[in-house]
Structure 1
Amino acid sequence: MVCTVGMDSLTIAIPAAPAEAKRPPMPFMAALVPVAGGVVMWLVTGSLFALCFAALGPLMIAASLIDGARARRRARRIAEIENQAAWERAEDELVRRHDEERALQDLRCPDAACAMRRPPLRGPEGADAATLLVVGRGGARSEIRSSGGDDDRARAFQKRCGRLDDSPIAVPLGGGVCLRGPEPLVLAVMRGLVVQLCLRFSAAQVAIVGERMHEWGIGGFGASSRREALRVGVARIGEPRPQAESVIWIGAATDEVPEGVTTVLDVVEPRRASLRTPHGIAEVSAEGVSVAQTAAISATRAEGQDDIDVLPTAVALSDLAQHAGSSGLPATIGRNERDEVVVDIVEDGPHAIVTGTTGTGKSELLVSWVAAMASAHGPERVLFVLADFKGGTAFEPLRELPQVVAVITDLDEAGARRGVSSLTAELRRRESVLASAGVRDVRDSDMPRLVIVVDEFAALLQEHADLGAVFTDIAARGRALGMHLVIGTQRASGVIRDALAANCPLRVSLRVGDPSDSRLVIGTDAAAELPGGAASRGLALIRRPQDAEPIAMRVALTRAADLRAAAVTWADAEAAQSPWLPALRPLVRLAELPAPPPGNLVLGQADEPERQRQPVQTLRVGVERGLAVLGGSGSGRTSLLRLIRHQHPSALWLPADVEAAWDVVADLSDRRTTAPDLILCDDLDALLADLPPEHAQVFAQRWEQVLRAGAETTFVLTATRASGAVGRLMDALPRRALLRMPSRVEHLAAGGESATFDRDRAPGRATLGERDVQIAWVDEEGFPSSPVSHPMRWTPSAQFTAVVTSGPHAVARAMQEAHPGCEVVLAPLEPSDSARPAILVADSDTWQRNWQIWQRIRAHGEVLIRAENPADLRQLAGVRETPPFAHLHAGRAWSLRDAAQPQRVVLPELMSR
């Protein structure tokens, strides 16, 4: 029955009884020394006076006994004094700890007197059947413990340690309490219990009900009851039970206890009563309060009632009245202790900041605010852009409202960036509209206001830090243009810059964790002091420019029916237009785009959300230097070249075959061929990868020569990545189109920004400069394929031809079959018929041993060296330059005549060798 505070057991050490002082030992040895000395002197001197020394021994023993008795009496007195001081300290410690324990119990379970001396702290949790009610004061078990000592005084001290006098005696409120005894005394005790409940709990938590409240002097506690409160009734035994969860019954000493009541307090006389519960019977001192005292307490309580304590526990948006303002956007979003709370983003703003930690109801507040405005103002008055950066579901129910023109979420990173960037274009558009109408403020035009609501502003800035300047710009210029911001964030410190906060005079804060955040938003620490838990969800403090102090309110909750009703209200309104153009389509056909100016080729459709334009992206042939295109497999690189070739059929498309590509680049670099006005090359990195290192280096160098020399030529080169030699070639072109890359690392290596990487980017979607471009599509049907090379087939043209090859016997037979008009011999044999062309076949070692024959043929005939043996080209022919690339094991050979450079030829008869 006693109210406990959950203290740890405290132990007091009991002083030990003083120990009896020990008797000092008898100094027998010391006494024998003078006796023995006197006897020795008498024997030596024969004088009887020497025996006087022997008398000193007994004298020393007597003196020692007297001195020991005095020391024992002195030690006994000191021990008794110390023991008494220790007991006094223990008694003082017991009194102090009992006082502390009693004070803690009074804080935990205060009666009316304690609640008047020190107003109790009120949490969000209300009263219920388990609430402890203090019915009096008396002896209770104490948590104080003692140890040590086993005498009667110690046992009595231990008993006093375990009992706390004048302790609050509390019982669960349960179904009620029955008070019996003389009516004046019982009514005084009843008033004490009512005063105790009403001081411990607010009117929103406890309501006192009963028909005799004014008659019994407690009428002042029933005026401000709430439907959410625990109802505690007061009634006389025998009368009908009040409509309450718990009842305080009043009756005479002989009345029967009402059914269901397990706590009975029989009041005998003032400050004396008997408490009977299922746990037993105890004598207590019952507290009584007079009628005058009760009236004074109720008046003081009514004047000093805390606003937050009397807020409703729940408010439905449908219970609030919405009114359409003449020029602003008033919205009723909650209720305080007396009235509905109305905010106007136009008159109180033009912009607002909403803060609150996770779980406090910030998203519900934003939804209710939008729903309240939408229910009273149609699309011709207000439009909404909603940005949710904490999962994408907070604003999903609001999509059905006709005023909602766009919902941005962090699930669509590219769409979010595009949408926020488009707000800059909306600023410019509104400025243009007002200028055309000859007015300076949106009030004087028919243009609807645009309210931009952001949930988790910090997350938006974390993903797109550069977009913070867009909101700062809107905050600075949005008032006259009719653009308003409602910024929701968990904390304002370090997130909302001063330039933005200065233009947001309307502030709403739910519970925050740091007092500095509360001060930054509403000017006080009140938001950091709001209680936590589920009961405080939706508890907010609002401060408008006209408010001297923050005002507490309970935020209204929006149901699906409220949104459906608002949508039906404006169902006949004209559909609102989005403040920005739709995103680029994943497929844009060339025939759907307007024809470009002469000399320009269409690349695709560009997107400029900051200017609200989607112009045609073009390439000026012969004027622009060129375009480097980078993208992964299936990203649309070849489709771009096919698009350009479709519009410019005379363009030179570098063959995909490495041999043919080598020849084209070699002719262009050596200027054997005039460069056209447009050159296309697909998969440049793949071409280089197919070449041996030596050939790849030469191939890249010749490409560099072509790029430097082609001043009037436009180049379009594609590759999967820009590294090494490919990177140098790509860097030589002034413009770069970045398509989808396989990974973020390769995207960054190709020159892209981390924020623009999208693994699921549509094929043909490129970043060109600072704009997104959807490459136009042309059908592949009927489109010519990439040029295919046709290598020159070798035929004998000289009188003597030397063939350097391994396996000369088999090659000689194949050559004889392929060229029956020639005489084929194995070197060093000489041809027998001088009238026919001769072909001499041998391996490199044989030719080196027959150097004279080799030199004669090298000077006047033709030499064929198979492509599989490039070392023979250097050792036998002395060629130091890199020969034309030739496929291995494909019948390729290099032909040497006179001092000319090696030429690639095809000998089909060598393919099977």
Structure 2
Amino acid sequence: MTDTRTTDPRITLPAALQPAAPFRFPVVAATVPVVASVAIWLITGSMFALIFAALGPLAAIGTYIDSRVSARKVLRAETTRFARDLSSTQSAIEAYHRRESGDLAELAPPAIVLVDEVKTDSSRWMREPREVLPVHLGYGTVRSNLVIDGGGARDHVDSTTAQHYQRLTDLAANLQDAPIAVNARLGIAIFGNELLSLALARALAIQLARSLSPKTSWLRPRGVFSAELWSSRLPHRVLRTDGGVQEPTIGHELASVHWGQLGDDAPSVSISVVSLEQQVPSGHRIIIHAGGDSIAVVGHPDKHQRREFAPSFLGREQALVWALAAHEIASRDGLASSDESVPDSLAFEELLSQLEFSPEGTVRRAHSLESRPAVGSNGRLVVDLVAHGPHAIVGGTTGSGKSELLISWVLAMAAEASPDDVTFLLIDFKGGSAFAHLAQLPHTVGIITDLDEAAASRAFSSLRAELQHRERSLARANARDISEVDALPRLVIVVDEFAAMMGDYPELHALFSDIAARGRSLGVHLILCTQRPSGVVRDSLLANADLRISLRVNNGADSSAVIGSDRAAELPARIKGRAWVAHGSSSAELVQFALATTHDVLSVAERWPADYSPRRPWCEPLAEYIPLATIAELGAARGNTAAASPPRARQSALPQSARDARDAVGTISVYFGLTDLPDEQRQGVAEWAPEEDGNLLILGSPGSGKSTTIATIVAAATADPPAGANAPANGSEPTADPAGVGSNITVLAGGLEPAGFWDTVSALHAQLDRAISQRDHPRGIVLAIDDLDAVISRFDDEYRSTVLDRLARLLREGPSQRIWVVASAQRVTPALQSLAQLIPHVLRLRFANRQEFVLSGGVPAEYTASLPPGGGKWKGARVQVAVSAHYPPAPQSAAVATIQRTEKLVVASSRPAATTAALTAAGWHVRMLDGAPGSERELLIADNSRPIALIGSIDEWQSRWGALGLLRTHSTVLLDGCSLSDYRQLARTRELPPPLTAGAGHYWKISESGAERVRLPL
């Protein structure tokens, strides 16, 4: 039995009656007051004390009466609640049973209902003989899917409650007078009363006629049914013997009808009527006994389906009414059986051989895209996307031949139109390579798949630009339609799995609606293919797509959405390329599309031997490797173009004196890569113009190409300009340097070593002071810092604060004095937050995930996970940084002076023993600080053949207040192993000394101008 009802529903039994809490008479509570009253009377002798003896029994009696009254109220409330719950549960069971019965009735309506609703039945002819074929037998008792939950509620209940539970359980177990359906695919045999058996078998036959499409199914009636008029009036094909006579019955059959699928060797579906059970033919697994007093299923693979039922019969006249109405409907829809047919298969080479073709004599067809990709009952089908379109919708389920149809159609157009007349953009969003072979056609300008999201996105952006390009071309030619412009071919965009593409890129609805609206005049045509057009292709597209093609679809709704009728749902599944074609107001035509091979693609491509180069809607994607020399050449060409054109207006933050200095030495423009501009259908040169852009920050994860980018920018900025790059058109002095500025710029590199980085930043900081005070503007200085976040993290807290302050000042005030910073980092750490706000432009390379990209300030929609090294986003465009042959600039080493061996030394050390050993080895005569305060000078000027080094601990020198200041005038004062606190106390200054490199043997030398880094001679 076929059952599609909801599985495992549950209804909970109502809770049992809750008895009132048991109550015992409070003997102790009543006795205690009596005893107490007697005791008081005996003690006091007052008779009034005996009055209190009555209070205990009276209170106990009152409590007892109250408990009994409350118990009765609880019992009444529980009884009312239980009755209400019983009624509610019963109503829920009956409601669920009604839904189950309705589901069964909808699954297989009785034949008499089909007769009444034959003209409005929307589910007719929706099944194939290989599928489950439910048929309605009649009405009877059917097991329900309802599950009664509440086994625990049955425990410890009285007999009355148990009876109620049992009644509900029995009620829920079975559907009464429910429709009974069985699967006709198992074969049905009926024996017993002849009249009842024939009436029941006739009802089953009409149900099968309603389920199976007349376009794909046949029937073979025998015996009594072969003589009944309804069997010959069905719209299905009736199989006959060679003599044209209905086949006789076999064995003891009174009547039978067999259903099968045209052109298929699948076993037929059989309904047979015999007199006795012993005469049932083999292959019939459902056996029904039609007795005089009862009718029952006595044989079924599922023993639970063997039951008595009240049958639903159908008479001959009623069956004829349904057959005549069904035949009229099938004839109207083109489904009725006829002798006309189209071939089951068609090779594309057969169509190609029938085309008379001469490429030399081909005339431009500006007004037509005629092609012949299919054959119908009247011969070759002519499809013209211009006249019948301008756009087309193709529907078809998996396996119906959608991709094959699209390939044949494209080849048919390419076979008759040159690449100067039509080009193809092929989009395949089902993850395959269906269109890969079509790349051999000179007409093909691109193939897009869902395998590369970035490539697909840039292609769609280019399509918008293509519409604008065609509009400009029509405007320049003063034309209203593409047919008036000879140099512009038509563009056919073929989309396989349109629904999948819209699911990945819902924003494309607006683009394709725009193409649909303007495509006719611009010469852009759409062929959109999808499994289920309804709900996917919007009305704005459907309104402009007059050409409709439907292969086999799963249901009538999908078929109606394409061709206006449900006939495509009845197409045979075994024939690929069988379709209905409709356009405009014409009725649909059944055709067979050709199936093409790789050899056919090659044959069509060979028809156009000339060297065609049709314009592509977009340029090639950026290469992963771009030599810097290529960028220099493009920059030089751009510079010459700019020199020949009026100068562009630029906003400059430089003061007038700085602008004068800039004009004297040249404008700095650094070209470091290529940008992808699909919206403009071109690639541009990535430019960093420091005067306009200011400082530059490069962000990216490890391996994203940060160091390479630093090296490329430095190489591009310091390279000599190409020959002629700076030559103005008017012969005046050069004022621009497209590939860089050569000698006009100086690059300083900051590395990970804190001491050297400190010196570099400090030098620039001092130079900034001089430039501001003296108005001395350098030709251009770029501080290149790789891994700025790592550099900052290596400084101690006090040094880090000062370094950040100095860098902030360089970023804030440096550009006005032509000092710029180019830095890279993995991410903007908290320490870099204040610096990042001073850098207006950020080059974002690849990030590990979208979250890090957004935290860096990027727009979520611009994130791309699969960028190659050097790929990123620059000023909103995809950029690929060029690769230089040079290594990244080497950072400057820390500046360290060497002490002369003739100098007298005064040393404050936190490790006197180690310092003594080092100075002794270097040639100094070491004396330890001792004696009374004030004796330090005598220790230094003692007669000795070697210079003297006077060493004392930090504490000793601190106890001799002012001694180091006095000795500094005629000796060299060194600090070894001191903390910043010790340094400030001994040097009497708040200024930070330059940081020392651990383990390098460096000392602080204190002088009037501050501290410097020194070392002992080797």
What is the aligned partner in structure 2 of residue 889 from structure 1? Answer: 999
Q: Secondary structure at the match of 1:633?
A: coil
What is the aligned partner in structure 2 of residue 18 from structure 1? Answer: none
C-alpha distance in structure 2 between counterparts of 1:496 and 1:294, whole Å: 41
Aligned-partner residue type, residue 846 of structure 1: E
- Shift, 1:433, TM fit: 3.9
What is the aligned partner in structure 2 of residue 645 from structure 1? Answer: 714
Change over 3 Å in CA distance of 1:276–1:850 after alignment to 2:
closer
Change over 3 Å in CA distance of 1:463–1:732 after alignment to 2:
farther
Which one of the candidate residues 229, 232, 247 is aligned to 1:235? Answer: 247
What is the aligned partner in structure 2 of residue 695 from structure 1? Answer: 799
Instruction: Please list the CA deviations of residues 486-520 of structure 1 after superposition, one character each: whole Å capped at 9, or x if unmatched.
Output: 456788899777766765566778979999x999x
- Shift, 1:459, TM fit: 5.8
C-alpha distance in structure 2 between counterparts of 1:170 and 1:788, whole Å: 89
Q: Secondary structure at the match of 1:772?
A: strand
C-alpha distance in structure 2 between counterparts of 1:842 and 1:170, whole Å: 108
Higher deviation after alignment, 699-708 or 315-324: 315-324
What is the aligned partner in structure 2 of residue 483 from structure 1? Answer: 524
C-alpha distance in structure 2 between counterparts of 1:654 and 1:338, whole Å: 80
Aligned-partner residue type, residue 723 of structure 1: T
What is the aligned partner in structure 2 of residue 740 from structure 1? Answer: 846
Q: Secondary structure at the match of 1:617?
A: strand
Whether the 8 Å contact between 1:527 and 1:541 is mirrored in structure 2 is no
C-alpha distance in structure 1 between counterparts of 2:346 and 2:398, whole Å: 18
Aligned-partner residue type, residue 485 of structure 1: L
- Shift, 1:403, TM fit: 4.4
What is the aligned partner in structure 2 of residue 757 from structure 1? Answer: 863
Q: Secondary structure at the match of 1:568?
A: helix
C-alpha distance in structure 1 between counterparts of 2:686 and 2:870, whole Å: 13
Higher deviation after alignment, 526-535 or 698-707: 526-535
**Is 1:779 matched with 2:885?**
yes
What is the aligned partner in structure 2 of residue 679 from structure 1? Answer: 782
What is the aligned partner in structure 1 of residue 988 from structure 2? Answer: 878
C-alpha distance in structure 1 between counterparts of 2:183 and 2:687, whole Å: 86
Whether the 8 Å contact between 1:180 and 1:252 is mirrored in structure 2 is no
Which one of the candidate residues 699, 714, 731 is aligned to 1:630? Answer: 699
Q: Secondary structure at the match of 1:588?
A: coil
- Shift, 1:586, TM fit: 0.8
What is the aligned partner in structure 2 of residue 842 from structure 1? Answer: 952
Which one of the candidate residues 821, 824, 831 is aligned to 2:939? Answer: 831
C-alpha distance in structure 1 between counterparts of 2:238 and 2:899, whole Å: 107
C-alpha distance in structure 2 between counterparts of 1:507 and 1:842, whole Å: 100
Which one of the candidate residues 665, 676, 680 is aligned to 1:611? Answer: 680
Whether the 8 Å contact between 1:311 and 1:336 is mirrored in structure 2 is no
**Is 1:570 matched with 2:608?**
no
Change over 3 Å in CA distance of 1:698–1:262 after alignment to 2:
closer
Whether the 8 Å contact between 1:237 and 1:251 is mirrored in structure 2 is no
Whether the 8 Å contact between 2:756 and 2:894 is mirrored in structure 1 is yes
**Is 1:386 matched with 2:496?**
no
Structure 1, unaligned runs of 5 or more: 9-96, 146-160, 266-270
Which one of the candidate residues 593, 615, 624 is aligned to 1:586? Answer: 624
**Is 1:318 matched with 2:422?**
no
Aligned-partner residue type, residue 665 of structure 1: V
C-alpha distance in structure 2 between counterparts of 1:193 and 1:514, whole Å: 23
What is the aligned partner in structure 1 of residue 645 from structure 2? Answer: none
Instruction: Please list the CA deviations of residues 290-332 of structure 1 after superposition, one character each: whole Å capped at 9, or x if unmatched.
Output: 8xx9988755443222777939999967389989998444678
C-alpha distance in structure 2 between counterparts of 1:496 and 1:107, whole Å: 31
**Is 1:601 matched with 2:660?**
no
Aligned-partner residue type, residue 405 of structure 2: S
Whether the 8 Å contact between 1:354 and 1:487 is mirrored in structure 2 is yes
What is the aligned partner in structure 1 of residue 68 from structure 2? Answer: none
Instruction: Please list the CA deviations of residues 519-572 of structure 1 after superposition, one character each: whole Å capped at 9, or x if unmatched.
Output: 9x6799x8899799989999999885537xxx889897885x456535533333
C-alpha distance in structure 1 between counterparts of 2:326 and 2:401, whole Å: 33
Change over 3 Å in CA distance of 1:502–1:716 after alignment to 2:
farther
Aligned-partner residue type, residue 682 of structure 2: R
Q: TM-score, normalised by structure 1?
A: 0.66
- Shift, 1:845, TM fit: 0.9
What is the aligned partner in structure 2 of residue 452 from structure 1? Answer: 493
1:156-195 map, 5 Å: none
Aligned-partner residue type, residue 568 of structure 1: S
Instruction: Please list the CA deviations of residues 592-637 of structure 1 after superposition, one character each: whole Å capped at 9, or x if unmatched.
Output: 3425238533211222111121232233465652422222323222
Whether the 8 Å contact between 2:133 and 2:183 is mirrored in structure 1 is no
- Shift, 1:890, TM fit: 1.8
Whether the 8 Å contact between 1:176 and 1:246 is mirrored in structure 2 is no
Q: Secondary structure at the match of 2:783?
A: strand
Q: Secondary structure at the match of 2:987?
A: coil
- Shift, 1:173, TM fit: 9.3
What is the aligned partner in structure 2 of residue 546 from structure 1? Answer: 585
Whether the 8 Å contact between 2:342 and 2:376 is mirrored in structure 1 is no
What is the aligned partner in structure 2 of residue 654 from structure 1? Answer: 749
C-alpha distance in structure 2 between counterparts of 1:877 and 1:162, whole Å: 103
C-alpha distance in structure 1 between counterparts of 2:6 and 2:450, whole Å: 50
Instruction: Please list the CA deviations of residues 360-379 of structure 1 after superposition, one character each: whole Å capped at 9, or x if unmatched.
Output: 44995466245324324446
Aligned-partner residue type, residue 777 of structure 1: V
Higher deviation after alignment, 199-208 or 476-485: 199-208
Whether the 8 Å contact between 1:123 and 1:531 is mirrored in structure 2 is yes
What is the aligned partner in structure 1 of residue 975 from structure 2? Answer: 865
Whether the 8 Å contact between 2:754 and 2:791 is mirrored in structure 1 is yes
Change over 3 Å in CA distance of 1:348–1:726 after alignment to 2:
farther
Which one of the candidate residues 381, 401, 405 is aligned to 1:368? Answer: 405
1:213-612 map, 5 Å: 220-221=232-233, 225=237, 234-236=246-248, 289=316, 299-305=324-330, 310=335, 318=346, 327-329=367-369, 345-351=385-391, 360-361=397-398, 365=402, 368-369=405-406, 371-378=408-415, 380=419, 381-389=421-429, 391=431, 403-446=443-486, 447-454=488-495, 460=501, 469-487=510-528, 546=585, 561-562=596-597, 564-573=599-608, 574=612, 578-593=616-631, 594=633, 595-596=635-636, 597=639, 599=667, 600-612=669-681
**Is 1:815 matched with 2:923?**
no
> How many residues are matched?
774
- Report sequence identity in percent: 27
Change over 3 Å in CA distance of 1:866–1:364 after alignment to 2:
farther
Change over 3 Å in CA distance of 1:835–1:207 after alignment to 2:
same
- Shift, 1:426, TM fit: 1.7
C-alpha distance in structure 1 between counterparts of 2:542 and 2:799, whole Å: 63
Whether the 8 Å contact between 1:606 and 1:773 is mirrored in structure 2 is yes
Aligned-partner residue type, residue 429 of structure 1: H
Whether the 8 Å contact between 1:387 and 1:453 is mirrored in structure 2 is yes
1:704-723 map, 5 Å: 704-707=808-811, 708-711=813-816, 712-723=818-829
- Shift, 1:350, TM fit: 3.3
Instruction: Please list the CA deviations of residues 384-419 of structure 1 after superposition, one character each: whole Å capped at 9, or x if unmatched.
Output: 323344545665676566644323233312111111
Change over 3 Å in CA distance of 1:129–1:514 after alignment to 2:
closer
Aligned-partner residue type, residue 448 of structure 2: I
Aligned-partner residue type, residue 668 of structure 1: L
Q: Secondary structure at the match of 2:900?
A: coil
Structure index of larger Rg: 1
Aligned-partner residue type, residue 669 of structure 1: H
